[in-house]
Structure 1
Amino acid sequence: MPDGLEVPRRHWAVATLMVVLTVASLDATMVNVALPAIAKDLHIAPGLVMWVMIANSLTVVITLLPFSAVAERVGFRRVFALGLTVFMLGAVACALASSFPVLLTARIVQGLGSSMLMCLFGGLLRNIYPMNKLGFGISLNSLMVGSMAVLGPTIGAFVLQVSSWPWIFAIHVPLCILSYFGIRFLPEGPRSKHRFDWWACLLSMLMFGLAIIGLDTLTDAPLKALGSLLVAGLAAVVLVHRSRSQTAPMVPVDLLRITPVAYAVAASCCSFASAMAAFVALPFYFLNVLGYSYADVGILLGAWSVGTAVMAPVAGRLADKHQVSVLCGIGAACTTVGLLWVVLMPQDTGFVWVGASMLLGGVGFGFFQSPNNRAMLLGAPRKRSGAAGGLQATTRVFGQGLGTALTALAFHASTTHGAVLGIMVGVMLAVAALAINVVRYFSPVPDTEL
């Protein structure tokens, strides 16, 4: 199997991947900023508008592993092209939506397209770059995601200042069209000859979907929520038992037996849940508690993303010489301090100090991303690169969905203090990520052996 793509095809493949990463990053960050405007325009409660994010995240998280398995069987390029098409159609439908049910349906369609694209990122990286440049590729991806996350809140806030929230979704269409021209440069990746496991697909969707729904409905319907969580747990037990005897299971439990990969997955889930919980709650805190404008919110969320964009490539280079657990532990600690700083500061604190706390949180998140992704991708065998990419994306999106659901739970628990409680959810999840990395540091299989 060739070690990466030859130049110049590699450069065109990287450019295509960067454009799609731009689309995915802008979708996540701009919609967060638009949630208060959507709630006001469609006359829905803050807790209910969270479903604009939850519906999308839930769709992505329950379909990532099935689409990853499909991509291993039919090829990366076919799934990539279909994902772009579905995502673009969903974005158009979101822009044209005139009611909350229509918007939710469109977000589900958009989530299907996102899932088809996200499940490929890790596998594409592993097959685009040669082994000696994979760390650089991961850092470049992190830099691009961070840079677009800087622009996302700013662009979103600007759009809301001069126009209306439907344009938040319409922006994606030209970028999707541009990406079509680069599909032919992408690698196909190794093909799997194993049959698609439909039972594993169903169990996986039940497990992830009911877990998120159960968490979100825990306050309004506790009995139904506990029932959902119980069924999700049973589905997980059956799924793991079914997958353990398979050579290349759709749900990659074989990869979770690799110690560095298992720690990377756990740390990733907590870290992304922390960041998403904070990013969902912070716009409400800045607008309704501190009294800032949409432009101010864009600047503050952009400060977080600046920290992430600057530190992600630095941490990626440091990961070649230092243990991942140390770098990720430092990152989780910085995120914890940054979010606590936002909540504990007096409400009349200067704008610059609030921005500094957001910058610190972003620095911490950037210190986590590149080293942890490197550990997850390099810890898996190359022939399972598609599954590793799907696992990476599933962990990230499940973490984001978990953070969003827990923040919605915080708003349901207290409408008045929901924003503060949501930020504190982010703090607790960051502390959990820190604790995992402390345990990871003393693991008998150090990350430096990757």
Structure 2
Amino acid sequence: MERYIRLRWVGLVFISIAVSLIIVDSTIVNVAIPAIVDDLGITSTEVQWVQEAYTLVFAALLLVFGSLADRFGRRRVMLIGVVIFAASSVLAASAPDGGMLILARLAQGVGGSMILPTTLSIINATFRGRERGIAFAVWGSTIGGMAALGPLLGGWLTTAFSWRWAFGINIPLGILIIIGVLLTVAESRSDRTSRIDVVGAVLSVVTMASLVFGLIEGRTYGWWLVDQRPQIGDWSWPFDLSPIPFAFALALVALAAFIAWGVRRERHGRSTLLALRLFSIPSFRNGNIAATVVSLGEFGVILALPLWLQFVLGFDALQTGLLLLALAGGSFVASGAAGAASGRIAPVWVVRAGLVAEVVGVAGVGFVIGPDASWLPLIPFLFVYGLGVGLATAQLTGVVLADVPVADSGAASGTQSTSRQLGAALGVAVLGTVLFTSTAGILASSLDARGVPDEQRDQIVSAVVDSAGAAIGGLQANPDTAAIADDAEAAFSDGTRFAAWTAAGFLALGLLSTISLGSGSGRTRESEGADEVEAHAEPDRS
């Protein structure tokens, strides 16, 4: 036990590497997507699903594994997650087509959902007082920094070797994490044991899956009336009404059922997947609302930017990663500032400062974007954006969990992580839809102005949008379609710009939502936290 106490800061390093594993993987894919499109020939819808398959499962299962970790051991669940994540990375690296890659990403989501909430609850159970605030700052800054460094690593691996190495890098990292955590991190669990809420878990998965399906597939099948009928084998969608309204209705019904089921179980003194009683804590309730909206704006724009840089400006994956390194610079600067501010400035003010920086950075990127844009003006805006991500991410976690009893840390961290991942999933779905839908509309209008026949226009628009922009290079190489390629570059640039401004709008909403957090939310409760660590989360001595 004393050995683990002495090594708790070393253990934090390996916990941070575990967080890096899942964050780097999700951001590496953004830079590698153009190479994957060229190699496997996946469509723009599959591009979104490569992102969403991971995020969707990740978000849907966070609550489940947060609760399981409290019961069966946080370190144990985290290590199982690392093994699953590494094994599924092998499948992703060897995927022969888009379908297999999406399946591998689904499996990675399972592993990631076991890792993220357990890292938070281990920190909450291991550190106390001001040390906890510093530990959360390190954890949050790791997310911000790795989200920025991921594209650089992915760009180098993709350019120098293959996009498949972007997934293969997870194997040695996974081995390092397993050895380090076993040597330096103590096992901990809650003394409250009860049955797992299986019904709640199923309802949460149905809610997330149907919502994200509707957001991504709406432009394919039609938002109201059917444009394209879904087919499974010989079966075809039989109604004139699109399946998308049914998906949204199912999400709404499942969400209502999830809440009603949870309230009913709590009234009978039974465990619930989501500890609804925690939402009576103002900092927890309001902080989760802010986290959802903020993540929606933060992560969605990272889908659009690498596609625009590579297919419009002609960057390769490594050049894209180098440019996005400005994000890392901002995040690393923010990590030092967040650590210095811990215990001195109310975390909510640090969060607000970070969100202001994010709004300025993302909106500025939107103003710079254009078919003939230079990369140089992007750097200061990306730096400011990274600065904001580092500040907001590090301290928002502390705000959300500050007043939560440590015995509920697994469920609470799972809830706040779910809020973030829900926002990230919605961000990729919504901003991806903004990007591709606006690109299609603008390009179609440009081709109409050129007098391009309707059938040829539709073919060109479909080629550009379905390839997520990869078809622009082919149009540019053909002298007969060079002018059309210029229209496609302008349309894709406008779509990327609109996606950036939409993200800035969501971040501004996130900033407004922090008003409800008050001026002192998130201050560390040293004495209470210490008592609860001793009472509920004492590491195993066995």
Q: TM-score, normalised by structure 1?
A: 0.93
Cα distance, 1:433 vs structure 2 = 0.8
Structure 1 partner of 2:290: 267
Structure 2 partner of 1:40: 38
Structure 2 partner of 1:410: 434
Structure 2 partner of 1:308: 331
Cα distance, 1:379 vs structure 2 = 2.0
Structure 1 partner of 2:348: 325
Cα distance, 1:152 vs structure 2 = 1.6
Q: 1:186 to 1:301 in 2, by over 3 A?
A: farther
What are the Cα deviations for residues 92-128 of structure 1, in whole angstroms up to 9, with x where unaligned? Answer: 0001111111111111111111111112121011112
Alpha carbons 1:145, 1:309 under 8 Å: kept: no
Asked whether 1:283 is paired with 2:360, we answer no
Cα distance, 1:250 vs structure 2 = 1.2
What are the Cα deviations for residues 25-82 of structure 1, in whole angstroms up to 9, with x where unaligned? Answer: 2202211111111111111223431211110111111111111121122111321222
Q: 1:77 to 1:83 in 2, by over 3 A?
A: same
Classify the secondary structure of the residue corresponding to 1:219.
helix
Distance in 2 (CA, whole Å) between partners of 1:449 and 1:12 is 22
Between the two proteins, what is the percent identity of the paired residues? 24
Structure 1 partner of 2:217: 217
Alpha carbons 2:32, 2:317 under 8 Å: kept: no
Deviates more, 1:74-83 or 1:319-328: 319-328
Alpha carbons 1:332, 1:434 under 8 Å: kept: yes
One-letter amino acid of the counterpart of residue 209, structure 2:
G
Distance in 1 (CA, whole Å) between partners of 2:403 and 2:363 is 33
Structure 2 partner of 1:121: 119
Structure 1 partner of 2:403: 379
| Rg (Cα) greater in structure | 2
Alpha carbons 1:24, 1:114 under 8 Å: kept: yes
One-letter amino acid of the counterpart of residue 378, structure 2:
V
Classify the secondary structure of the residue corresponding to 1:186.
coil
Alpha carbons 1:316, 1:371 under 8 Å: kept: no
What does 1:54-133 correspond to in 2, within 5 Å? 54-133=52-131
What does 1:357-368 correspond to in 2, within 5 Å? 357-368=381-392
One-letter amino acid of the counterpart of residue 60, structure 2:
I
Distance in 1 (CA, whole Å) between partners of 2:279 and 2:204 is 15
Deviates more, 1:348-357 or 1:149-158: 348-357
Structure 2 partner of 1:234: 253
What are the Cα deviations for residues 162-220 of structure 1, in whole angstroms up to 9, with x where unaligned? Answer: 11111100000011112221343333222431211111111111122222212212222
Paired residues, number: 446
Query: Tell me, which stretches of 5 or more residues in structure 1 are unaligned?
Result: none
Query: Tell me, which stretches of 5 or more residues in structure 2 are unaligned?
Result: 224-241, 440-464, 466-490, 526-542
Q: 1:401 to 1:136 in 2, by over 3 A?
A: same
Structure 2 partner of 1:178: 176
Classify the secondary structure of the residue corresponding to 1:290.
coil
Q: 1:6 to 1:160 in 2, by over 3 A?
A: closer
One-letter amino acid of the counterpart of residue 216, structure 1:
I
Distance in 2 (CA, whole Å) between partners of 1:227 and 1:438 is 35
Structure 2 partner of 1:189: 189
Classify the secondary structure of the residue corresponding to 2:219.
coil
Distance in 1 (CA, whole Å) between partners of 2:244 and 2:275 is 27
Distance in 2 (CA, whole Å) between partners of 1:377 and 1:352 is 39
One-letter amino acid of the counterpart of residue 8, structure 2:
R
Aligned residue among 506, 525, 530 for 1:429 = 506
Structure 2 partner of 1:401: 425
One-letter amino acid of the counterpart of residue 52, structure 1:
V
Distance in 1 (CA, whole Å) between partners of 2:3 and 2:252 is 41
